[in-house]
Structure formats: C-alpha cells, structure tokens
Amino acid sequence: MNILVIGANGQVGRNIVKELAESNHDAVAMVRKEQQVDTLKELGAAKVVLADLEKDFSDAFDGVDAVIFAAGSGPKTGPDKTLTIDLWGSVKAMRYAEEKGVKRFVQLSSVGTDNPDAGGESMKPYLVAKRAADDLLLTTGLEYTIVRPGPLSDEEKSGKIEATTEGFESFENRSIPRADVANVLVSVIDRPNTYNKIFEVLQGEHETGQALESL
Ligand SMILES: NC(=O)c1ccc[n+]([C@@H]2O[C@H](COP(=O)([O-])OP(=O)(O)OC[C@H]3O[C@@H](n4cnc5c(N)ncnc54)[C@H](OP(=O)(O)O)[C@@H]3O)[C@@H](O)[C@H]2O)c1
C-alpha cells in the first residue's frame, strides 16, 4: 500500500518513514520545505510531496491507500497554530481522504484528550484541538485508528509496549520512545482488529505485535 505520512519530517514522522521502508508498504512523505525532500528520500520514502497543512494539500492524496496523520504545530507556536494545524489540518486531511476514496486513516493523538479540562492551562488548547479532531474522525466513514501515546521520549525503540482501549489510570513518570510510537502507527495499518478503535499506549512489557493483537 502507498501510505501518506503527514508530518513526515517530524521526529515521529521520520521514524514512520524508516519503518515503512522496512515494511511491505511504500511511504509517500508529505513535507512543507524543499530542503527536507532529500532527507526523506534518504530515509526511504518512495515519494516525497511538498504541501502545507495551512493550504490546499489535496493533491498529496492522489494514488494513496492509507494516511498516517503525525503532524503538529509543536510547543513553540501559539493556540492559533494549534487550531489551524493540529485541528483544522487533521480535519482537512479527513475530508481529502473521503473525497479521494482513501478509506484507512491512522491518527496520532495524545493521552489527556479524554479529559482536556484536567490537562492544565498550557496544555488545554492542544488537548481540546486534538480531542475535537479525534471526535470528528469518529463521524466520518473512514476506517480509523486513533493512537494516544503518553509523553514522548527520544530513547531507542524498545519493541515493548502497553496498550489499552480503557485508558491508563495514570501515566505519571511514564513515557514511550518516538520510535515505538512510529512502529505502532505503522503496525496498525493492516491490523483489522485495531480498525475503528481508540487506544492509549506507553512503553511496557509486552511485545508490540502481541499487545496490538489483544486490543
Ligand atoms: N511531545 C509529546 O510528548 C507528545 C505526546 C503525545 C502525542 N504527541 C503528538 O505527537 C506529534 C508528533 O510529535 P513529534 O515529536 O514528531 O513532533 P514534531 O517533531 O514537531 O513534528 C511535527 C511535524 O509536523 C509538521 N508540520 C507542522 N506544521 C505543518 C504544516 N503547516 N504543514 C505541514 N507540516 C507541518 C512539522 O514540519 P517541519 O518539520 O517543517 O517543522 C513537523 O515535521 C505531536 O505534534 C503531538 O500531536 C506528542
């Protein structure tokens, strides 16, 4: 399958492209700057498309079979970009997917979106935006999987996770390497038992494939 990776130049996104290069799928890497193209090709992207989430990026969906949305405005911008990128960028991606007949949509979300009011003032706009995007995804006809990782770390891939559709009681002092999150996002693409599900994920004790199979 051709998998459109939105946010491919990001820290998780680059790991997704690497994972796809080692899988039986092809990565179509969406980046917003010309100077990022060569890096993504070197990481193994079969195709790189230049597009910006704040503009029309529908062309990126041509010839695509599935989408992984892993973009985000990041902590250095304000709530305006949280709205236009984390929320509206994701909603536009869902609409383009529907218009272009791309059925499968994997959304990188976050723990804490179950209750944004509990997230603290600085996190609240982000958690509200992500929760709203997740809720809108449920109303589409897309075959979605919403993956909500805990705090991300830059440690090496462990291959061991804990995943739950019930939500963790606490994720205090816990995290998950970005490389494991990328592995999970790629692994769910063709696992039908994860279709139309939302789950939280942290680093854990269970081999990733087994943990996903039990969802
Ligand atoms: N940090 C955490 O602990 C945590 C926890 C749970 C979930 N998450 C989620 O995980 C996501 C990915 O994390 P990360 O560490 O990989 O973030 P990241 O490195 O900041 O990657 C985000 C990517 O989104 C791209 N992007 C931003 N605006 C765009 C636009 N207008 N058009 C196209 N692309 C755009 C960025 O492009 P450029 O490379 O050009 O800047 C970047 O490549 C976060 O955004 C967040 O939603 C994070």
Q: How far is the CA of 13 from the centre of ligand 1 (A)?
A: 8
User: In whole numbers, what is the pLDDT of the chain averaged over residues?
Assistant: 97
Average pLDDT over residues 202-209: 98
Distance 191 CA to ligand 1 centre (A): 25
53-111 tens-digit pLDDT: 999 999 999 999 999 999 999 999 999 999 999 999 999 999 999 999 999 999 999 99
Q: Which residue, among 95, 90, 126, 135, has the nearest Cα to 108 in the 3D structure? A: 90
- From the candidates 96, 126, 144, 195, give the one annotated as an active-site residue: 126
Question: Which of the listed residues 4, 5, 6, 9 should we mutate to test ligand 1's pocket, taking the one with most ligand atoms within 8 A of CB?
Answer: 9
In the reported structure, the alpha carbon of residue 11 is separated from the centroid of ligand 1 by a whole-number distance in angstroms of: 7
> How far away, in angstroms, is 124 Cα from ligand 1 center?
17
Per-residue confidence (pLDDT) for residue 188, from 0 to 100: 98
Structure tokens at 189: 């693409």
> Measured from the CB, is residue 32 less than 6 Å from ligand 1?
yes
Reported as a single tens digit per residue, the pLDDT across 169-201 is 999 999 999 999 999 999 999 999 999 999 999
Tokens of 27: 């990565």
Specify whether the backbone of 211 is left (phi greater than 0), alpha (psi in -120 to 50) or beta: alpha
Residue whose CA is at the smallest distance from ligand 1 atom 7: 110
Mean pLDDT of 38-56: 98
Largest CA distance in the chain: 43
Q: Is 169 exposed, middle or buried (0-12, 13-18, 19+ CB in 10 A)?
A: exposed
Q: 69, 107 in Cβ contact below 8 A?
A: yes
Residue nearest to atom 42 of ligand 1 (CA): 10
Q: What is the pLDDT of residue 116?
A: 97
Residues 6+ apart with CB under 8 A from 64: 2, 3, 4, 28, 100, 102
- The pLDDT of residue 85 is 98
What's the confidence (pLDDT) of residue 66?
98
The pTM score is 0.98
Predicted local confidence at residue 100, as pLDDT = 98
Residue 195 annotated to the active site: no
What is the Å distance from ligand 1's center to 6 Cα?
Answer: 9
Q: Which of 5, 12, 73 to mutate to test the pocket of ligand 1 (most atoms within 8 A of CB)?
A: 12
